[in-house]
Amino acid sequence: MDQARIADLRRTYRDGLLEDTLPFWIEHCVDREFGGFMMSLDRDGSVIDTDKGVWQQARFTWLLGELYNNVERRGEWLELAMHGASFLDNHCFDPTDGRMWFHVTRQGEPIRKRRYAFSECFAAIAYGELYQATGNSEFADKATNAFERFVQHNLAPQGVQPKFTDVRPTKSLGFPMMTIVTAQELRGAIDFPQANEWIERSIQTIERDFLKPDLQCVMETVGQGGQILDHFDGRLLNPGHAIEGAWFIMHEGHLRGRRDWVSLGCQMLDWSWHRGWDAEYGGILYFVDMRGLPVQEYWHDMKFWWPQNEAIIATLLAYHLTGEAKYAHWHQLAHDWAYQHFPDPEKGEWYGYLHRDGRLSSRLKGNLWKGPFHMPRMQLNCWKILDQMQLR
Amino acid sequence: MDQARIADLRRTYRDGLLEDTLPFWIEHCVDREFGGFMMSLDRDGSVIDTDKGVWQQARFTWLLGELYNNVERRGEWLELAMHGASFLDNHCFDPTDGRMWFHVTRQGEPIRKRRYAFSECFAAIAYGELYQATGNSEFADKATNAFERFVQHNLAPQGVQPKFTDVRPTKSLGFPMMTIVTAQELRGAIDFPQANEWIERSIQTIERDFLKPDLQCVMETVGQGGQILDHFDGRLLNPGHAIEGAWFIMHEGHLRGRRDWVSLGCQMLDWSWHRGWDAEYGGILYFVDMRGLPVQEYWHDMKFWWPQNEAIIATLLAYHLTGEAKYAHWHQLAHDWAYQHFPDPEKGEWYGYLHRDGRLSSRLKGNLWKGPFHMPRMQLNCWKILDQMQLR
C-alpha cells in the first residue's frame, strides 16, 4: 500500500465520518422534545418510527464522546453525548431489577427487554466516554455498574425464562467478544482495573472453545464445553462477526505486545475471510454453514453493511500489524466492494441491506439495529490506523 | 376457465400430491428408530438436522389422516399417522404444565417451547383425523383438549414471560385465523360442539379489528381495540397470511350459506392481492408496509413457498364461489408463477425460499417451518375444488 493510497483512504474515512455519517445522524435523529435519538430513518433521514432502540441510544452517545475525547473538543458533540446519557439514565433502566430495556417509545416508556444484556455493554462504554470527557466520577461508576451487570447477567441470568431447555446447553461467541471490546473501552476511558483480566479470560475462551483448527473456522455457537453441535444453529457461521472479534484480539495483541494474540486474530480473520467472502459477487455473506449445507436463516446470503465495516477494519489492521500483502489485497477487495454498493451519495450515509449481488433490498438508513455505530467506528478506526501507517 | 383447463389443473394438483409431495416426504422423513418425522431435509431429501419440529410432526400426522379419511383408505397412511401421533403423545407435551414443545431432539428431548401455542392447533387437527379414522374416542378427547389449551393460552397465557411490556398491547391476526381453521377441522372430524361459535366470534374479530376499509388492507397486528399502531411492527402486512385467512372465511361462508362471509373473504383477498402481488417479478411478496415505507424484516421481498400456496387456493376458491373472471386470472398468475419457479423436477417437491426475482435462495426442502403442509394442503384443496367445478 503506497503513501498515495494511504492518504486517499484516510481522506475517504475521515471525511466520510465528519462530513457525511455524523452530519446525517445529527441532522435527523436528535429528539429535542423527548430526549434521546430517533434512529428509524428512511433514505432521506425522515423518521418512520418514533420508537427508540436502547442499543442505538447508547452507541451514539459513545460515538459522540469518543469523538470529543479523541478527535476534537467540539461542544456540540459533548452536548449531544450528555443528551443521550440523560435519556439512558431517565428511561432505559428497569427500576424493578436494574436491567436495561431494549426498545422504548419516543417518550421513554418500555416496550421490550431482551433475555440477554447487550444494552448494558453499550451503556457502559457510553458512560465511560462521558467520564473521560467530564471527569465526573458518577459516570465512571455508571460505566462500571453497567459492565458488571452485563457480565453477571450473561454468566448467571436472573429473572428471565431461558429461550431453550437445558437439554443442549450452548454458548455464543458474542459474550466473550463483547466482553473484550467493552473492557478495552473502559480500560481507556475509566482505567477499569479488571479490564486485562476479563480480556485475557475472554481471549482464552474464544481460542479454546470457538476456534476449530481441523475445520478452519470460528464457531458462532458451541456446546458449554466447546463441542460442535451438528444442527442448524450449531453449524451456523457468521463470518463478519468472527472477523469483528478477530480485530478486537489483534488490537489487544498490538497494545499489549502479545504477538501470539495478533496471530490468533489473523488466524480468525483468515478462516472467516475464506468462509465469508463471496467469490462470485464480492462482499461478506451474512451466514454460511460450517459444512456448506443450507442455512435455516432466510437472509443468509444478503450483504449487510456491518460485516463489510468489520472486514474493512480487520484487513487494514492485519496489514498494518503484519505487513502481509494478502491483507492489503483483501482490504482493497472489501473496501472497494462496499464503497461501490452501500453509499447513497444523494441523501447521505450508507444503505444497510443489499441482496447478494449488491442490489438494494431496503432503503432504510436506520432501525433498531442500524444506527451510527459500525460505520463511524470503522471510519474512525481506519483513519487512526492509516495515521499510524503514514508515520512509519 | 374451460373444462380442459380444469382437468389439466386437477391432474397437476392431484398427481403432484400423490406422486410427488407425499412420496418425497414418506421416503425421506420417517424415523423408524426414534419415532416421528425428521423434516430438515436437503434438496435430495437427505436429513441435515435430526431435530424435530413439533408443528411438522402434527401437521404431517394431520395430512396423513386427512388423506386416509378423504382420499383413500390406504393402510400406509393410517400407520404413518399413528406413528406421528405416538411421537406427539410421548415426546411433545411438557408434563409440568401440559403445554406443547416447539422443538425437540431426534430422541424427543425438549429443546424449546414458544410463548405462543400453535403446536396445540396442529396437534388438535392431527388427533381429530385419527378419531375420524379409528373411532377411538381417546383421540377425540385429545383433540378437544389441545384446542382448548390453544385458545386458553392465547386468551390468558400462564407461566410465560411476555415478549413485550404492557405499554402497547397488541393482538395478531394469527390467533383468530388459526381458531377458524382448527375449529373447522374439528367440526368435520369430531363434530366439535363449540366449533361454530368459535368460528363466528373469530370472523367477527377479524372483520371488526383487522380489516381497514379506508386503507384497503388487512392488518397483521393491531392494538387491543383494533387501532393501527404506526410503527414498524404495526404497519407490517403479511399479504400471504391474510390471503390464507381469506379462504378460511370464504370456505365457511360457502359451507354455512353465508354470502356475506364469502364476500368478506373476497374483500380480504382483493386488498391483499393488490398489496402483495409483485407486479414487477410476479409472486406474492412476504411483507409489505401499510404505507409503502421500508420494512424492518430482512426477508420482506423474498418469495416463500407458502404464500403462493395460499394465493393459489384462495383465488381458485373465490373463482369457484363467485364466478368472477378476475379470480380465474389471478389464479392463473399465481399458479403459473409458482409452478415456473418452485418445483424441483429432478429431486422432487418444491423449494421453499426464492429471491424476489425467482432465483433460488436456499435449496432446503424442509426445516422447522417447512414440511408437508401448505403444499399438500393446497394440492388437496384445489383438487377437491376442481372436482366441484367439473360437476357443474
Residue among B111, B167, B168 minimizing CB distance to A165: B111
Q: In 3D, which of B128, B178, B186 has the Cα closest to residue B153?
A: B178
**A305-320 mean pLDDT:** 98
Position A162 scores a pLDDT of: 85
Position B375 scores a pLDDT of: 98
**A71-84 mean pLDDT:** 98
**B312-334 mean pLDDT:** 98
At A332, list the grid cell.
482493497
Partners of residue B37 on adjacent β-strands: B30
Computed over every residue of chain B, the mean pLDDT equals: 97
Residue contact A294–B368, C-beta within 8 A: no
**B287-294 mean pLDDT:** 98
Residue contact B298–A302, C-beta within 8 A: yes
| DSSP 8-class letter at A230 | -
Position A278 scores a pLDDT of: 98
pLDDT at A54 over 90: yes
Residue contact B161–A160, C-beta within 8 A: yes
CA A21 → CA A14, A15, A232, A284, distances in Å?
10, 9, 37, 22
pLDDT at B325 over 90: yes
What is the per-residue pLDDT across A334-383, written as a single tens digit (0 to 9) for each?
A: 999 999 999 999 999 999 999 999 999 999 999 999 999 999 999 999 99
Cα–Cα distance measured from residue B392 to residue B388, given in angstroms and rounded to the nearest whole number: 7
Percent of all residues in chain A with a pLDDT value above 70, rounded to a whole number: 100
Q: Whole-prediction pTM value? A: 0.97
Position A161 scores a pLDDT of: 84
Position A193 scores a pLDDT of: 97
Residue among B111, B301, B302 minimizing CB distance to A164: B111
Predicted confidence band at A296 (pLDDT cuts at 50, 70, 90)?
very high
Cα–Cα distance measured from residue B199 to residue B137, given in angstroms and rounded to the nearest whole number: 24
Residue among A111, A232, A353 minimizing CB distance to B167: A111
**Distance between alpha carbon A11 and the CA centroid of its chain, in Å?**
22
Partners of residue B40 on adjacent β-strands: B49
Contact list in A for residue B301 (CB cut-off 8 A) is 361
pLDDT at A117 over 90: no
Cα–Cα distance measured from residue B363 to residue B45, given in angstroms and rounded to the nearest whole number: 11
| Residue type, position B121, single letter | C
Task: Give the A:B interface size as CB pairs under 8 Å.
Answer: 93
Interface check B161 vs A, CB under 8 A = yes
| Alpha helices (H) along A107-257 | 118-134, 137-155, 174-190, 195-205, 232-235, 239-256
Position B158 scores a pLDDT of: 83
Interface check A229 vs B, CB under 8 A = no
Position A391 scores a pLDDT of: 81
What is the per-residue pLDDT across B353-378, written as a single tens digit (0 to 9) for each?
A: 999 999 999 999 999 999 999 999 99
Predicted confidence band at B308 (pLDDT cuts at 50, 70, 90)?
very high
CA A254 → CA A6, A379, B9, B57, distances in Å?
20, 20, 68, 53
Position A11 scores a pLDDT of: 98
Predicted confidence band at B262 (pLDDT cuts at 50, 70, 90)?
very high
Given a contact cutoff of 8 angstroms between Cβ atoms, the answer to whether A91 and A36 are in contact is yes
Predicted confidence band at A187 (pLDDT cuts at 50, 70, 90)?
very high
CA of A138 vs chain B CAs: smallest distance (Å): 30
Report phi then psi at B207, rounded to 5: -65, -45
Cα three-residue angle B65-B67-B73, rounded to 5 degrees: 90
Please name the residue that has the C-alpha cell 432502540.
A53
Given a contact cutoff of 8 angstroms between Cβ atoms, the answer to whether A351 and A344 are in contact is yes
Cα–Cα distance measured from residue B230 to residue A29, given in angstroms and rounded to the nearest whole number: 18
Residue contact A167–B111, C-beta within 8 A: yes
Q: In angstroms, how far apart are the furthest CA atoms of chain B?
A: 57
Listed in sequence order, the residues at least 6 apart from A79 whose beta carbon sits closer than 8 Å to its beta carbon are: none
pLDDT at A144 over 90: yes
CA of A109 vs chain B CAs: smallest distance (Å): 7
Tell me the CA end-to-end span of chain B in Å, nearest whole number.
Answer: 12
Cα–Cα distance measured from residue A125 to residue B165, given in angstroms and rounded to the nearest whole number: 27
CA of B96 vs chain A CAs: smallest distance (Å): 13
Given a contact cutoff of 8 angstroms between Cβ atoms, the answer to whether A119 and A65 are in contact is no
Predicted confidence band at A249 (pLDDT cuts at 50, 70, 90)?
very high
The full set of domains in chain A, from first to last, is 1-30+174-391 (1.50.10.10), 34-163 (1.50.10.20)
Q: Is A40 helix (H, G, I), strand (E, B) or coil?
A: strand
pLDDT at B260 over 90: yes
Cα–Cα distance measured from residue B247 to residue A125, given in angstroms and rounded to the nearest whole number: 53
What is the per-residue pLDDT across B33-76, written as a single tens digit (0 to 9) for each?
A: 999 999 999 999 999 999 999 999 999 999 999 999 999 999 99
| Residue type, position B187, single letter | R
3-state DSSP percent of chain B in helix, strand and coil, to 5: 55, 10, 35
pLDDT at B103 over 80: yes
Q: Which of A52, A165, A221, A289 is the mutation pick for testing B, counting most B CBs within 10 A? A: A165
What is the signed CA dihedral for B14, B18, B20, B25, rounded to 10 degrees? 140
Please name the residue that has the C-alpha cell 411421537.
B87
Interface check A281 vs B, CB under 8 A = no
| Residue type, position B371, single letter | G
Position B162 scores a pLDDT of: 86
Q: In 3D, which of B161, B149, B95 has the Cα closest to residue B122?
A: B149
Cα–Cα distance measured from residue A319 to residue B215, given in angstroms and rounded to the nearest whole number: 55
